[in-house]
Structure 1
């Protein structure tokens, strides 16, 4: 199957809540994807980690039910609710049987509108987050990513871990949880996708039931930040036999006219499987690593081209040299017709496989809304990929790919590497 066919209906509730719906009555259950734009980037000043902690406590009791009672009610309905947050959005993924829709929706409404934030739950989840923070402090992969983010984004929320620090999390109170919820869970940044055994009329009523009690507006969104990290090398000493590397440079916005040529280009350079140039040159030809990748990251408030690799301390300098060489080769020469055809075949063939369940489709619907791509994007997406030519990729590579702008963060005990400017 070369394309995905999904019949999307736009629904607006009497109270003005908008959603995208795919009515699929063949299986009697519904998947809802709920997203609040802004996510952990909306942490209040000095309260880093508050929205992450708040999100983790949403299912720890609501209304007159403590954590155990709320969980028992959820399980008795065979419903599932997954609360998650990243720097661009807070998401809630809900699944429930059609026959239990009203009861499940009421349980979810309580969690969003009237969470208890009991002190024992706050302390228990806080301890879990602090354990994660301690673990991350000894994880070379996390250290590399966090160091790169700090250098690239500075004081922007992207520059710090959304978990917060041990100190910031220790100081958070119940009042901070209430404030964090109000900052992010508001109707002016709400996006909803619904897939399953539900029609437009019933969805409209459900939307008002779920969201009418939320505040109309939340905190002001974070500002967009231009990536400004210069090319160079940063070494973070760490006692380990293998160095971990995060690298990157300026990226491209999702709505840039050159996005699809850049997307296909990055699949060729550092994408999936063993066919990418970086895997071929770094692993297959030289045996310097088990895996290496590079990708576009058009985030809501900034854009990068990022990548990562790990290699023995004595070989990591060679890895970096090869990456820089491949960056330069792409900028100068573009890609071959064979590489282009292989990447397009993979990208168009893999796309329909994303639509293999109600929950995944609901997630896609919300993503399309947030990115402003329109209902016809699903039908047209593969044609955008197919339209990319070798000339397009060569032009975009010359515009975007800059080996001198690459900055590498190396965590380990690398041999033959010295820090250079850019940090």
Structure 2
């Protein structure tokens, strides 16, 4: 390595370390007010912006609707492969040159895929934004999909699939999705299979990119040291040349198939259990009643009913948790835990009892007030603790259709929830017969 390259590498490393330090330093005070502006550019790119000059850092988060549900039939994993290649060469830059220029700019760029979106983010010091934004533009607008890079990343993903095939959690998740979602695209792994990945060509990747990456399909949020006028110009430069409209396959809404028991025999020291109940959309008027109910039931971890009954009082599990899971086309309330095989029936019965109790009896005023305090107080810590976290949160809020003033309204939306509201939400969601999955030793091999 030449002295010039050594100095260049040292400078890039210094900037990366500085970015990390500024990320931790930029955590906002728990009660800091956040003003969200809507930005509309001349090329009809829209974004939400939070200006913050506490540190010289800019964070951009964005998402294109249409994630792994857009995989062509027989080529599952194609969107995941495409997203992994976006920073592996773009425009006139091959993979090595692109990565070198990212390092020189001191920028952190990430791409990923979920069931409903292809998402990305960029963090950079404000003084270095122009070079970083130019690279992001190339990655989004002109990914190369060079065959050598395609083969290399495909091999990495295939190796991961091979390794995960030996993991009981992966096998269980695949079986769970198939049982719950049937033939819906949510039943498929975003990683695909070895066979489906092998079928994907560079032409497939280029077609997917053309279909998904459009201005009308784009959600953006920015937080940090940049003003509205500068951001308008920069957003036009990055995203303005994309086509107006995406070409997405229609995806139907999915109702999880409940009322079934799935047993997966696996030689494990503990049974892993998962239960699924109906969920609720974030835009539903009962959402926060359900959110508070879930917190009291099992989402509040060390303070929840399930934790106290299953873990603390009886020692049936090291941990247990419930959560509201929301995708664009389906929602569910999920309970997960692990327990000794000879105590699995007892643990499952106890979980069902606690679910039935909260569905029939609701919660107390004391439980509700404690949950409100915890959820309101934790929001800034969990969702608004850095420029990157703010940008991510604002993208999620836009995708959920929650409105630009949601952060301001959220506290009041929680505070007005009553005990009766929680009882109604619990009765609505938890009166159904759940889907249950148990992964562990076959019945005839259990001891105790």
TM-score band by shorter chain is over 0.9
Find the residue that maps to 1:34 and give its secondary structure. Answer: strand
Find the residue that maps to 1:400 and give its secondary structure. Answer: helix
CA deviation digits over 1:361-406, x for unaligned, max 9? 111111121222112211110111111111111111112212x521
2:345 and 2:388 map into 1 onto residues whose CA distance is 43
Q: 1:112 aligns with which of 122, 133, 140?
A: 140
The answer to whether structure 1 residue 69 and structure 2 residue 86 are counterparts is no
Contact 2:306 2:351 in 1 (8 A): yes
Which protein has the bigger helix share? Answer: 2
1:94 to partner: Cα distance: 0.3
Task: Name whichever of 217-226 and 53-62 sits farther off.
Answer: 217-226
- 1:301-380 alignment to 2 at 5 Å? 301-353=329-381, 354-380=383-409
1:150 to partner: Cα distance: 1.1
* Equivalence for 2:416: 387
1:417 to partner: Cα distance: 11
CA deviation digits over 1:55-94, x for unaligned, max 9? 0111111112221111110011111101111112111110
1:32 and 1:221 map into 2 onto residues whose CA distance is 27
- 1:229-308 alignment to 2 at 5 Å? 229-308=257-336
1:222 to partner: Cα distance: 4.0
Find the residue that maps to 1:384 and give its secondary structure. Answer: helix
* Equivalence for 2:426: 397
For these two proteins, the number of residue pairs brought into alignment is 417
Tell me the TM-score normalized by structure 2. 0.89
* Equivalence for 2:11: none
The Cα RMSD (Å) is: 1.8
2:194 and 2:219 map into 1 onto residues whose CA distance is 32
Find the residue that maps to 2:302 and give its secondary structure. Answer: coil
Find the residue that maps to 2:342 and give its secondary structure. Answer: coil
Q: 1:100 aligns with which of 122, 128, 145?
A: 128
Task: Name whichever of 175-184 and 215-224 sits farther off.
Answer: 215-224
- 1:146-157 alignment to 2 at 5 Å? 146-157=174-185
- 1:18-97 alignment to 2 at 5 Å? 18-97=46-125
Quickly say closer, same or farther: Cα 1:362–1:2, change in 2 above 3 A.
Answer: closer
1:263 to partner: Cα distance: 0.5
1:36 and 1:14 map into 2 onto residues whose CA distance is 20
1:129 and 1:245 map into 2 onto residues whose CA distance is 28
1:143 and 1:405 map into 2 onto residues whose CA distance is 24
Tell me the TM-score normalized by structure 1. 0.94
Contact 2:297 2:305 in 1 (8 A): yes
1:112 to partner: Cα distance: 0.9
Task: Name whichever of 270-279 and 103-112 sits farther off.
Answer: 270-279
1:160 to partner: Cα distance: 0.9
Quickly say closer, same or farther: Cα 1:219–1:413, change in 2 above 3 A.
Answer: farther
1:96 to partner: Cα distance: 1.2
Find the residue that maps to 2:403 and give its secondary structure. Answer: coil
CA deviation digits over 1:214-254, x for unaligned, max 9? 22222325434231413131111112222222220221122
2:92 and 2:350 map into 1 onto residues whose CA distance is 60
Find the residue that maps to 1:314 and give its secondary structure. Answer: helix
Contact 2:177 2:187 in 1 (8 A): yes
Q: Which runs of 5+ in 2 are unaligned?
A: 1-28
* Equivalence for 1:421: none
Contact 2:71 2:77 in 1 (8 A): yes
